Structure 1
Amino acid sequence: MRLILITLFLLAGCTPIKHPRTHGTPPPLPAVTDLKSYYEGIFYAIQWEFYDPDHFIGKRCEMRLDLDDKGQLTGIHNMTGDLGLCEAAMYAAQHAALPAPPSVEVYEKMKTVVLVFAPE
């Protein structure tokens, strides 16, 4: 009996923990056509990669993203807020498929963007 329990515990420890969204295809990004929709697209892409938002309810994090002209992340900086939430948000930003800016004008305004995460 002991051997069976030990075997079950060992096998359970070998099962990788998966985020529920890894089993499906992410929904398409919203259409990015102007400054507002570009900001929303960035935020949406990061939210899709964010794990366990319920764990951070009531907490807040501000972070600054530096983007290149293709919309790719070139820098990320924690400005203020809860360290755990900021680390989770930074991880999500690094793994997110960020949209490209719709125009040079939008890129110039959004090459440095501040996002506030405050799960409710």
Structure 2
Amino acid sequence: MGRNTTNWIKFWGILAMLLAGTVLAKSSNSPSYVTGKAKKLYSVIFGIVVEVNGSVRSVRVARVTDPISGGVAPVDVSVPPVYVDAAKKFILDKGYSPKLDNGKPVEFYTYFFYDPANPNVLITETK
């Protein structure tokens, strides 16, 4: 076998691996929000109160909105308890600082994304 033949074999081998990788990547079981195939993402806005000592006093769903609409009007979408529990855990683990007004803790807001097709998944960022 000549040197030129060996190079062609290497080339076709690399090309075959790249094509196989592309096919496998397209058939992966990635969640719909990762693949860009989510039918609809909603933003779930949480109201949080953190005590002066750093403990979380309360976490509540303040509203659910449609971020694509460009407004902040609430939409009629119910968020399952498993999603709310995941958000609470994330909030507790993150360790937010208290927001104070005259030395007293006040409610502040944060949001996460919600994909109804994957209700068990808390989406903390999108790219």
TM-score by length of 1: 0.38
Tell me which of the two structures has the higher relative contact order, counting C-alpha pairs closer than 8 angstroms and 6 or more residues apart: 1
Q: Could you say which structure has the higher helix fraction?
A: 1
TM-score, length of structure 2 as denominator length: 0.36
Q: Which has the larger radius of gyration?
A: 2
